[in-house]
Structure 1
């Protein structure tokens, strides 16, 4: 069984690159709230508003990106940019997705290291964080409606949620299990496991433009060139740093450690945070335990990928082991190094793998496997939504263990009514009244600042 697909719309002109750049800048400015919210923003603008990418094509790309190490939302932006304008489009989309977060966290890291006082930042982003919860829930609803079309997909999503939320199973294991279930289900019951059916694809699986021809010839020779080029771009600076300053210098340690981290960050920032914190705090001593949570708070309330928290770690490591450069200059250099080795591999995964993934889109069993992966991703996003909701709404959480698992249980007395009210109003505004995200974020930020005038946030 095969799925008939349509790679391009031949009678429509391509999207002008300048117009695409403006849209990527808009998406970047709205990329708050972690991967779930960022994916929702891209879906709303690229699929629903601009109609540059079809629904099924978007989900197909998302499925692949969820299988990769690194920030899936940034990689999805790179993938869609590549679909529209090739490597140039992918570079533009990926770099623009990272740039605002890099600038924001660099500025906040400099203030943090110099003054150790983020009270004004907490007040500014208190309302934004509550609104971001609404964005995440909206993403869950949107993606869930499209991915959970059959009973098996609902069960896969539920199982994935329990596996990661209660038993903390590794994300790659969950995704791999879902893919295997999808393959078996595609063989035994294709009607319920092949969510994207041939009759749905013809008008809903498109990319506006002429970049791709739909050729079925395997791109092996270009793949070797791509792999060599991007491995060099990624690792040559690391080797240069080690040779220049020696393997024991903080710059070398940061470059090597975060290069390793870049290939194991399945499941995003939350999944890798514990390991990163343990190594950064206990092994290398780059920062204190509580400072890691401060850094995550920065990443949550600034645009860009959540994994950008690595930049905060790098800045403090360079700042505190400055040497002859001086603390601020050393921190800035360390930030650049860490950002480079974290995101350069993302371009490698996309530019190397996407051509193969595009050519395999008409393989029915692969489609069934990726449909199951999408269902599992819904469960993972639900896990992030619940995790985020608990941390936004409650100030005191405790872990309860039993039956091989553990749950985060809130102290109901520690509820933050202001955060709950702002989040609820933002959710109603977005789901019921379809207000724009900029409006919702701006109003929520103003509400948070007004509330902060009544007393210190969190008091």
Structure 2
């Protein structure tokens, strides 16, 4: 049940309880969540080694689907294999899923959630401060003083800011560049087949999408495609969802979709859980469940199927170099996404002040709990929003 080379310092249920807590209290989206996992599981508790964490982050960035959820699934796999991956993934997603379903019910029952704008005014700015600090820590820890990794990091940062999206092939290219420059290409023939097979697997979803089917089946096929084709952070799925939900299927109007994204931002856990809210508005509780399952099943499979190969070959010099390259690219894209999000959340002087104060507090007080920061920012939003509007 364990790796053989190292006995775990924790039980499976301790990991499940940690993931439940992170899913219930982890604000800030994928950038912050992957930072929390490193701080809590690698630095503080030492349950996971830094090399295992880097492998998980690289695999999560290589495969399609939401970044933080895949990393959580991989960290569950490290010592407790498929059972650990399954329970860690469910524990991570469940709290935020229940929250967005409750908000979906309230939204449908009371005709919108006007208070959301007020809350998001303060919380959105605080989240920028939180994820900026997470990006800083990840950069210091993983990039260090390595000039090649810094070049890749800066390239991905700039590309993410300019395009406002994450370019999937650049992550793979970054890994290949570091691998070719630092280690002889002995591993390519052994690992390439599995990656190619996984990339081709989702193609069936595109073919099935043209069939005439019931509403729940349409929801399952569409959100399954979203989970199978979208790379990077949960935020990367938003443009894809907009195209399908609003423009193609006309399930929601523009305002409902924007509110759905706001729900994802003000609730803890993975941003991609907005699919639960959208599914609820389309077809009630069954729509929420189908949308969430269809989105997360591909990312679950894309994590547990290649994970044993990562564990088996992960210590080879070529794989280490490849992982280093993808990790640098991932953290560059994560840092770029902080800037992209800041443009949307920092809209005036008070929001800029909130973001700066949060950075200063987290810099000064290392043990400050993020949920406390979020609550304080929400209160500030309630006070300042009426004054500014």
Give the structure-1-normalised TM-score. Answer: 0.74
Match of 1:163 in 2: 159
Call closer, same or farther: CA 1:62–1:313 in 2, change over 3 Å.
same
Structure 1 position 183, deviation (Å): 2.1
Q: Is the 8 A contact 1:179 1:370 kept in 2?
A: yes
| Cα distance per residue 1:223-261 (max 9 Å; x no partner) | 9xxx9xxx9xxx9xxx9xx9xxx9432212111111222
* Rounded Cα–Cα distance in structure 2 between residues aligned with 1:455 and 1:170: 32
Given that 1:75 and 1:346 are in contact with CA atoms closer than 8 Å, whether structure 2 keeps it comes out as yes
Equivalent pair of 1:40/1:142 in contact (CA under 8 Å): yes
Is 2:345 the partner of 1:392? Answer: yes
Determine if the alignment matches structure 1 residue 27 to structure 2 residue 18: no
* Alignment equivalent of 1:446, drawn from 369, 376, 386: 376
Q: Which has the higher helix share?
A: 2
Provide, for residues 29-56 of structure 1, a one-character-per-residue CA deviation record: whole Å limited to 9, x for no partner: 3321111100111111101111011112
Q: What residue is the counterpart of 1:287 in the other structure? A: 252
Q: Which residue of 1 aligns with 2:77?
A: 82
Of 183, 204, 222 in structure 1, the residue corresponding to residue 179 of structure 2 is 183
Pairing 1:158-237 to 2, within 5 Å after superposition: 158-167=154-163, 171-187=167-183
- Decide which of 276, 289, 298 is 1:345's aligned counterpart: 298
Q: Is the 8 A contact 2:228 2:299 kept in 1?
A: no
- Mind listing any 5+ residue stretches in structure 1 that lack a counterpart? 1-6, 189-217, 319-330, 395-414
- Partners of 1:444 and 1:256 lie apart in 2 by 35
C-alpha distance in 2 between matches for 1:100 and 1:86: 23
Inter-partner Cα distance in structure 2 for 1:390 and 1:46: 31
Report the CA distance shift for 1:13/1:250 in structure 2 as closer, same or farther (over 3 A): closer
TM-aligned CA deviation for residue 388 of structure 1: 1.4
Q: Secondary structure at the match of 1:166?
A: helix
- For 2:79 and 2:183, locate their aligned partners in 1 and report how far apart those are by CA, in whole Å: 33
- Structure 2 unaligned blocks of 5 or more: 185-189
Seen in structure 2, the aligned counterparts of structure 1 residues 350 and 423 have a Cα distance that, compared at 3 Å, is same
- Asked whether the equivalents of residues 30 and 437 of structure 1 are also in contact (C-alpha less than 8 Å), the reply is no
TM superposition shift of 1:105: 0.9
Mean Cα deviation higher: 264-273 or 67-76: 264-273
What corresponds to 2:233 in structure 1?
A: 268
So what's the TM-score if we normalise by structure 2?
A: 0.87
Give me the whole-angstrom Cα distance separating, in 2, the residues matched to 1:451 and 1:39: 26
Residues 290-369 of structure 1 mapped to structure 2, 5 A cutoff: 290-318=255-283, 331-369=284-322
CA contact (8 A) 2:30 2:234 kept: no
Q: Is 1:128 the equivalent of 2:81?
A: no
Task: Quote the RMSD (CA, aligned, Å).
Answer: 2.7
CA–CA distance in structure 2, aligned partners of residues 123 and 357 of structure 1: 45
Match of 2:334 in 1: 381
Q: Distance in 2 between matches of 1:275 and 1:20?
A: 32
> Which of 354, 357, 360 lines up with 1:428 in the alignment?
360
Q: Distance in 1 between matches of 2:375 and 2:243?
A: 33
1:151 aligns with 2:147: yes
Between the two proteins, the alignment pairs up a number of residues equal to: 369
Using the alignment, how far apart are the partners of 1:289 and 1:15 within structure 2? Answer: 46
Change (3 A) 1:378 1:19: closer
Residue 376 of structure 2 corresponds to residue 456 of structure 1: no
Matches within 5 A, 1:68-147: 68-147=63-142
- Partners of 2:172 and 2:140 in 1: how far apart? 23
- How far residue 300 of structure 1 moved from its aligned partner, in angstroms, is 1.1
Q: By how many angstroms is 1:292 displaced?
A: 1.7
Q: Distance in 1 between matches of 2:19 and 2:112?
A: 33
- Cα deviations across residues 363-390 of structure 1 (Å, max 9, x unaligned)? 2122112111111112201121001111
Tell me the secondary structure at the aligned position of residue 306 of structure 2: helix
